[in-house]
Amino acid sequence: MTQQFVELLLSEQADIALSGQGVNGMPAALDSQDVIPQWTLKQGDATITPSPDGMSCNVFPNAATSGSNPVVIVGVTADADLDLAETRILEHEIVMTVKPDEAASLTGNIAITPKP
């Protein structure tokens, strides 16, 4: 299994595109026509929306994610063998640390009361 690590703000989404990589680091094909890649939420509070062909997925962290448990882990499995009679499943995880949004401006709450 391989892993990637990324940080994002609670107001952001992660758009993940799946691709294969050979042992030499060069691009390699995946058998996504016979076995559609499967995406799963392994940890955290997020909504995941895989594409119909399984080659990409959008991840939307939910408000409960930031704070004491800011980690979302999304897993994907895909068939790396291009032979129809054979299946060789690879697994990958994307580990996302979700941070709260930072202030972009200041505002004040003003209360008008009578003088004592």
Q: pTM of the full predicted structure? A: 0.80
Q: Is residue 21 part of a domain?
A: yes
66: pLDDT strictly greater than 80:
no
Q: Is residue 108 part of a domain?
A: no
What pLDDT score does 54 carry?
93
Q: Is residue 103 part of a domain?
A: no
φ, ψ for residue 64 (rounded to 5)? -70, -10
How many structural domains are present in the chain?
A: 1
* 59 vs 85, more confident: 59
Q: Is residue 106 part of a domain?
A: no
Q: Is residue 37 part of a domain?
A: yes
- Per the structure, the complete domain to which residue 41 belongs is given by 2-96
SS3 7: strand
Cα→Cα distances 29→22, 32, 62, 82, Å: 9, 9, 33, 8
The CATH code of the domain that includes 57 is: 2.60.40.10
Distance of alpha carbon 66 from the chain centroid = 15
CA-based max dimension of the chain: 87
